[in-house]
Structure 1
Amino acid sequence: MMKANVYSLSHNVVLDAAPNGDVIVETPYNEEWINAIRSVPGRRWDATSKCWVIPGSKSAILVLCHALQDVPVEVKSTQLVERFPEFMQLQSGDEKNALKKLKDTLKMKGYSIKTQKAYMGHAERYLRMLTIPLKNAESHHTHAYLLKLSDESRSSSYVNQAVSALRFWLVTVLGRSDLNQWIRPKRQKKLPVVLSSGEVAKLLKAIQHVKHRTLIALIYSSGLRIGEAVRLTKQDIDPVRKTIHIRQGKGGKDRFTVLSNAAYAMLQNYMETQPIVKYLFPGGKGLDHHLTERSMQHVFVKAMRKAGISKPATVHTLRHSFATHLLENGTDLRYIQELLGHESSKTTEIYTHVSIKDIRRIQSPLDRIGMDDEDQ
C-alpha cells in the first residue's frame, strides 16, 4: 500500500494525445482517481485500449485539470501541453516528491514560516512554467523563469529570493550539481520610506481602536517587525528594565529592545480592558491566537488615508522611522543595530542616507541670494 504523500513514478495518471485531438488518460486502479476522471463530462472508457478518453474541448480539459489537481499526473506529450497550457498546473509523482523534500528540508533546517512559504511558492510557480519533466530541466529553464519575473517588473530583491529558493531546492535538496549557473540581478539601491514624527502622531490619532493603536505605537516606539509585534506575550514586557524581549525574531534570534514609557502607559490602559491568555494582541480566532499581519496592514492603510498621509508606506515603515529618528536624535548606530537585531552594521547604515539631521543645517544657494518681490 502506498504511503500518504509519497508518490511512486509507477503510480501516475498518464495523459497522452489521441490522433483525433482527444486526450487519452491511463490510470492504475485507484477508486478515488477513477471517480475524479468520471466527473469529466463526455468522458468514455475504451475497453480495447483499457484507457479513458476525454474530449479535446477546453471545457472538458478545465474540468479534468480541476479533478486531477491533487493527483500525481505525467503528461507524455509536449504538444498536449502546448495545446492545453492548463496541464502545466498538474504535477507528477516525481515533482510532488521533490516538493515534499523541499518542504521537509526547510522545516528541519528551521527556516521561518514566511521563508518556507516563499520558497515553496517559487518552486511551485517554476514547475507550472516547465513544459518538460522536472528531472529534465536545465539551467536555461531556470534562467527563463527568472527572466520572466524580471519582465513582470518584479523587484530585484524578489528575483534574488527566487534565485535562492530554486538553488536551495534544485542543488541542495535534490542534488542537481549540473545546475551550477545562477545569475543574480543587481540589487536596487532604494532608500526606505520614513514618516516624520508629526506624521506618526497624526497616524496614531487616526486609529480609534485601542488595541490597534497600542500595537502600532509599540511597533514604532520599539522598532519591531510586524510579525514580532503581533506575537508579543505579557512575559515579553519588562516595565522595570524598560525592555521588550523579542523571542525568535528574524533568523531565529532573540534580542531586547527599548520599551517606551508612553507606549507602556497605552499598553497598561489597553490590558485593563482586554483579557490576556497567551498573546497581548489576540485575533478573531480566540484569545490563544494572535492578530494576523495582514489584518494590521489593513488597519495601517486605513489609518494612513484617514490621517491624509500620501507616502507609499507600510507597517514596516514605522521600523524605518524608529531607526531614523533615533539616529537624528544622536543615538549611536551600534545601539540602533542591536535594537533592530541587524546581523551586519551595513544593514543599519542605510539610515544614515535617509537622516535629514545634517541636511537641515545646509542652506540652499537660492536662500542665500535673498530674492525679493521685485527680483521675481
Structure 2
Amino acid sequence: MINIGWIGCGTHARQMLLPQMGRNDIRIAALCDRDGGALQRTAAEYGVPVLTDDFTALIRTPGLDAVGMAVGPEVHGVAALAALEAGLPVFMEKPPAATAAGAREIARAAEKAGKRVMVGFMKRYSTGNRIAMNVLKGGGFGDILGITGAYMTAPTYFAGEPDYTGFYLHHCVHYMDLIPWFIGEDFGDMELRSVSPQPGRLLLHLNFTTGAGKIGNIVMGTVQSRGTPMEEIRIMGDHARLHVDNIINVSLYRDPPFKAQDPQATLNPACDTLSWTPNFTAAANEDHKGYAALLADVAAVLRGEARDVPDIGDGVRAMERLERMIRQTGS
C-alpha cells in the first residue's frame, strides 16, 4: 500500500482524482485544504486520519511515500518544491506551475532529488486518444502529414472580471501537450489568429509547422456551451486519416474502392473504415476521460514500475509552448 499526502479537496479532486486512489492501492494518509468544510467532508469519505490547512505540515507527516496535489498553479509550484526537498515524489494536476520558469525550477529540483514529478495530462489517456495513438504506432497508418484539433469551452473562467490567464493555464495547456504527443515532435513556426465578440468570449486559431514538415491547426476558445461535445481530432496521412470525436468515438479511414457499381461489394477490413464507440450500458467501471488510466500508471511508478507517465519535462515543454502562444495574443 502506498501512503500519499494529498493537497486540495476541491470538486475536481474529489470527483475525478481521489476516487482512483483506493482502486490502485493508494492510501490517503493525510489531507490538506484551507477550506475546513471541504477538508472534513473529504476526510470522512476516505477515512483520512491526518488533516491540516498547511501543506508544509502535510509534507512532514511521518510515513508518506508521495505527495499529490490538485490546487492551482501557484501552489503547485511551491508545494512540489517542498515535497522534493523532503525527498518525496510528486503527482500534480496540470499546470505544474504558473509559468514556464516555475516549471523549469521544479524540473531542476526533481533532478537534484532524484524523484519523479508526474503531471496530470490525462488527455493522453482518454480512451479515444489512446486508441488513435496505438493505431499510429502500429505502423500501418504511415507518416502523419497534418493534424487539426479543436478543444472548446464556455466562458466559465470569466464569471467575474475577464482574465484569460485561467483559460490559458487550465484549458489551452492540455493541447500544448496533446498535439505534439500525437505528432511526435515540437511546434516549429506558429501563427495565431483570434476573435473576441465581447470580453470573456475568445476564439483562437493556432497554425503551426514542424521541423519535419508536418502542418497543423489548433482551435480553442470560450464560445461554446459545455453541454455539447467540444473536442475533435483529425490526423491526416497519405490515403489514411484518424478521427477522434468527443474523446470516445474513433474512426480510421483508409483507401477503399468505390462500391456502388460492384454487385459483389462487401466490407473489407483491410481497407474499409473502422470505427469504435464505447458501450455505456456495460457495468464496468470505466473512465473514458482518462483519469483512471492515468492514476493507475502513477501508482505503478510509485511502486517502482516503469511507465510512460507525463512528467515535469512534459510540463515544462507544454508551458513553454503555451507562453509562445500567449505572446502572440499580446496578452
Q: TM-score range by the shorter chain?
A: under 0.3
Question: Higher relative CO (CA 8 A, sep ≥ 6), structure 1 or 2?
Answer: 2
The structure with more helix, counted as a fraction of residues = 1
Rg larger in structure: 1
Judging by fraction of residues, say which structure has more strand.
2
> What TM-score does the superposition give when structure 1 sets the normalisation length?
0.20
